[in-house]
Structure 1
Amino acid sequence: MTRQDAYGNPITTESAAAADHYDRGVRLFLAGQFGAATEFEQAIEQDPGFALGHAALARARMMSADMPGAKAAIAQAAELAPQADQRERQHIEAMNLLLSGQPKAARQAVLAHVRDYPRDALVAQLCTNIFGLIGFSGEVGREAELLAYTSALLPHYGEDWWMMSMHALSLCETGQVDASLRLMEQSLALNPDNANGSHFKAHALYEAGDTAAGRAYLADWMRGYDDRAVLHGHLSWHQALWALHDGDKAEMWALVDRSIGPGAAKGLPINVLTDTAAILYRAELAGITVDPARWTAISDFAARFFPETGQSFADMHAALAHAMAGQGDRLAHIAETAKGFAGDMVRPIARAWGAIARQDWTAALSELAQVMATNERLGGSRAQRDLIELAYVNVLVRLGLTEEAHRSLQTRRPVLFPAPPIHDLG
């Protein structure tokens, strides 16, 4: 028997209970809330032959850093796919390409799939967000492509809280902050529990330079957010960043130790690595002393979870951690072997981190200058790539090029210009 999911797509299951669990799982997953995997598991318990339930479980397990479980689930989905319809088979194939380490092929599969099935949200979301297949494409203009992608999908979703939040982020990352905030408020009014919406609202408030509003908003919203949920650690990073900009060192360190750093955060390893390395270095830029043991801990974490290169956004932060921890062999490995969607940019950045660690500012400037024009290729949001912008400005300051440092900040990241979070910039 064919039923329909909450987005009106036919799903091949005879069990109404399986369909209900599936819909609840999709809602939790799209909202960045904890518990989606459990709902998908219960859907499969109700109907073991529900192919799309296994595919959804694979995606949920992937986002819980359970890759063996994810691969087992997608293999089961693929085995059951011949019993499903065309949309479901294509859905499963896109997930299979992603989980088999073929991001370019997965991206093309998603783009083709949503032309025929735009409301297949679990497939559509693979190319949304700054951490999606477009965001991590390593291409110049990825932000414009992301905006074009969500712009094309938005009319198919009507008053849908999830798609509104995805499009609002696209607006934010292309500089349309006011429009982003308006749409985000509409999204959150429809589903206040949408952690993706809260996350993207935090980005818009950051881009607006509204630290006080951002701190107040997240302090209130985070009270009810499960610390096992995928965005808990990263939203805590946003809080820590605002605390740093506010000069609230005690709160910044409390957030790092409670929710961001290794052993504290329960999210994805890539978030633990990138968020921790970024906040530690931004603290140093602001003139705050960072215990060397913190750098050692995040370097060890990076070596454990990202021993080989290939995920450029992670590699860039791993290189920073290794450089600041004095782990020359680990740093050299990244500088010499970096591959992946922006491996060609990771190599000079890794060398720059090494030069910065030994205070060779001239060498650091030479290396960083190679990546400043197109640093969006590295992935991450504008807020996350401020790490590179601020490192560049700091190098200029250390070389005595203060006027150029001010000019760089004012032209490239004017939102940070009124109160630059760099010690001695003035």
Structure 2
Amino acid sequence: MTVTDRYGNAISTASQAARDHYDHGVHLFLGADYGAVQAFAAAIGADPDFALAHAAHARALMMTGDMPAARSAISRAKALTDELTRRERGHIDAIALVLSGQGSAARAATRAHVRDYPRDALVAQLCSNVFGLIGFSGEVGREAELLAYTAALLPHYGEDWWMMSMHALSLCETGQIDASSRLMERALAINPRNANGSHFKAHAQYEAGETEQGRAFLNDWMEGYDARAVLHGHLSWHLALWALHAGDAAAMWRAVDAGVAPGAAQGLPINVLTDTAAILHRAEIAGLKVDPERWSALSDYAARFFPDPGQSFADMHAALSHAMAGQGDRLARIAETTQGFAGDLVRPVAQAWAAIARSDWQAALDHMVAVMAATERIGGSRAQRDLLELTYANLLLKLGQTDEARRSLATRRPVLAAAPPIAALR
């Protein structure tokens, strides 16, 4: 009898227990819930030769930041491919390419694979989301590409909460907020504990300007969400951001210190770095005083986890932390780089941060202008790239160009224009 996974794909294991643990792990992983690593380990325990369980274990370990263990797991999966189907071999190859840092090749392999096997969710997942292979491609039009990608996959999944939530985010990031919200509500009705669903609903509420509704929803939803889960820190950032927009500084700092900053967040280093840098700088733009020790600690964190430029989204935020901490040598390493999928944009942004740190507003604006036409290439969501939008508007204000600052927000990010989280406009 052929054994199949929860998406109907044939899998090479004779163990029902291994299949059940594997399916449970897939459910947890796609829902960004805690426990996927343990579930895939249990599948391997039930069948040590279950190659896809080793590959899934590798992917889950990667999402905890344990890259040595992830590479060991994918090596074990690749050693077991001789008797596998074409789909299973392609599945393992795609994940192996991601783990080896070959983003472009992994993206091409993933797109080719899902054309033949659209319901191979753990592979399809590699290109979904703004933090996936499309999101971090560094290419113009990547939001439209992500929408096309999830739109093509959606009909193959029916009423599947995971794919519905992925497509809902694609709709959100292309400005289709009402359609995104409706689809996300359907996804959350099927699996209310889908952290990706709650995350993407938060994005839709942010884009709709629903600050108080968003705070209420996310505060309630996060009750019981394991602090070790991959999205706990980032969802805490959303709460901090909404508190900042609502003028509730005390709640913002509570969220930062409980779940966002180094030492508090247990998520991936890229989220800890980017979320902390963004909320600190946005707090300063909003008129709050940020303890210099916060910037110093974040600069040390960035130097530890991202010592070499190459991940452009992380590099942009690392450069900000180094500039605000007065770490010129660290900043120069990023400002002089050409590495990364958007390295050509990271350089002027890093130079802008340096100019801001020394209060040279005109130089900062000159550098920022070179970036604003293509910020999507740097990666992240629209909410995350509002760091640049608000910085740009704030620089215009520093130079007395108030009308232009208001025009920039009104045309580029109208959701921020009604009540701009900028001290000089309040």
Q: Which whole-Å CA distance do the structure 1 matches of 2:83 and 2:55 have between them?
A: 14
Tell me the residue number matched to 1:273.
273
Matched, 1:100 2:118: no
- Using the TM superposition, give the Cα deviation of residue 2 of structure 1 relative to its aligned residue in structure 2, in angstroms: 3.4
- Note if contact 1:312-1:346 (Cα within 8 Å) is conserved in structure 2: yes
Q: Which whole-Å CA distance do the structure 1 matches of 2:308 and 2:274 have between them?
A: 16
Q: Which whole-Å CA distance do the structure 2 matches of 1:67 and 1:297 have between them?
A: 24
1:332-379 deviations in Å (ceiling 9; x for gaps): 110012411000000000000000111101100110000100100000
Q: Which whole-Å CA distance do the structure 2 matches of 1:70 and 1:122 have between them?
A: 15
Letter in 2 for 1:328: G
What is the SS of the residue equivalent to 1:81? coil
What is the SS of the residue equivalent to 1:11? coil
Matched, 1:17 2:17: yes
Tell me the residue number matched to 2:46.
46
What is the SS of the residue equivalent to 1:80? coil
Q: Which whole-Å CA distance do the structure 1 matches of 2:352 and 2:187 have between them?
A: 41
1:132-174 deviations in Å (ceiling 9; x for gaps): 0000000000000000000000000000000000000000000
Tell me the residue number matched to 2:222.
222
1:377-423 deviations in Å (ceiling 9; x for gaps): 00000000000000000000000000100000100000000100001
Letter in 2 for 1:150: T
- Using the TM superposition, give the Cα deviation of residue 224 of structure 1 relative to its aligned residue in structure 2, in angstroms: 1.4
Q: Which whole-Å CA distance do the structure 1 matches of 2:374 and 2:424 have between them?
A: 27
TM-score (normalizing by structure 2): 0.99
Q: Which whole-Å CA distance do the structure 1 matches of 2:396 and 2:249 have between them?
A: 25
1:106-136 deviations in Å (ceiling 9; x for gaps): 0000000000000000000000000000000
Tell me the residue number matched to 1:188.
188
Matched, 1:133 2:136: no
Question: Could you list the runs of 4 or more consecutive aligned residues of structure 1 that deviate by over 4 angstroms after TM superposition?
Answer: none
Tell me the residue number matched to 1:250.
250
RMSD: 0.6
Q: Which whole-Å CA distance do the structure 1 matches of 2:378 and 2:148 have between them?
A: 20
- Note if contact 1:315-1:338 (Cα within 8 Å) is conserved in structure 2: no
Tell me the residue number matched to 1:155.
155
What is the SS of the residue equivalent to 2:221? helix
- Using the TM superposition, give the Cα deviation of residue 241 of structure 1 relative to its aligned residue in structure 2, in angstroms: 0.1
1:238-264 deviations in Å (ceiling 9; x for gaps): 000000001111111011111000000
- Note if contact 1:57-1:70 (Cα within 8 Å) is conserved in structure 2: yes
- Note if contact 1:236-1:255 (Cα within 8 Å) is conserved in structure 2: yes
Tell me the residue number matched to 2:61.
61
1:204-242 deviations in Å (ceiling 9; x for gaps): 000000001000000000001000000000000000000
Q: Which whole-Å CA distance do the structure 1 matches of 2:425 and 2:356 have between them?
A: 17
1:291-327 deviations in Å (ceiling 9; x for gaps): 0000000000000000000000000000000000111
Tell me the residue number matched to 1:390.
390
- Using the TM superposition, give the Cα deviation of residue 81 of structure 1 relative to its aligned residue in structure 2, in angstroms: 1.0
5+ residue gaps, structure 1, are none
Q: Which whole-Å CA distance do the structure 2 matches of 1:372 and 1:271 have between them?
A: 23
1:89-119 deviations in Å (ceiling 9; x for gaps): 0000001111111000000000000000000
